[in-house]
Amino acid sequence: EAQVTQNPRYLITVTGKKLTVTCSQNMNHEYMSWYRQDPGLGLRQIYYSMNVEVTDKGDVPEGYKVSRKEKRNFPLILESPSPNQTSLYFCASSSDRPRGNEQFFGPGTRLTVL
């Protein structure tokens, strides 16, 4: 089954404790992206990747890092999480730039930073 998977689905952590949210897709997609979703604000792009070893900042990259060492994986790293990073995070992938191609979203990771 074609899908985007994220882990963990739920995470409660404390300020300053490094964490990684994994994202994996099995559709051989070039384009992958991370979004955060907050009430009343809609989805906002954090980082995206056009292909292996190619990443770029989205609209809200501060406090986040990503890497794309393999085509199928695109982990999101929070080196020193803060409470304002409490949010619902989605990973997405598409065969090319999402402008004209459907993005497939993962199930989401709900992160709480205390």
List residues binding another protein (CB under 8 A): 4, 40-45, 48, 56, 58-59, 90, 92, 97-100, 102-108
H or E element at residue 30: none
In the complex, least distance from residue 99 CB atom to another protein, rounded to whole angstroms: 4
Nearer to another protein, 3 or 80 (CB): 3
Q: Residues 47, 78: contact at Cβ < 8 Å?
A: no
Q: Are 61 and 47 in contact (CB under 8 A)?
A: yes
Nearer to another protein, 64 or 90 (CB): 90
Rounded to the nearest whole angstrom, what is the least distance from the CB of residue 17 to another protein in the complex? 25
Question: Could you give the CA distance from residue 17 to residue 66 in angstroms, rounded to a whole number?
Answer: 17
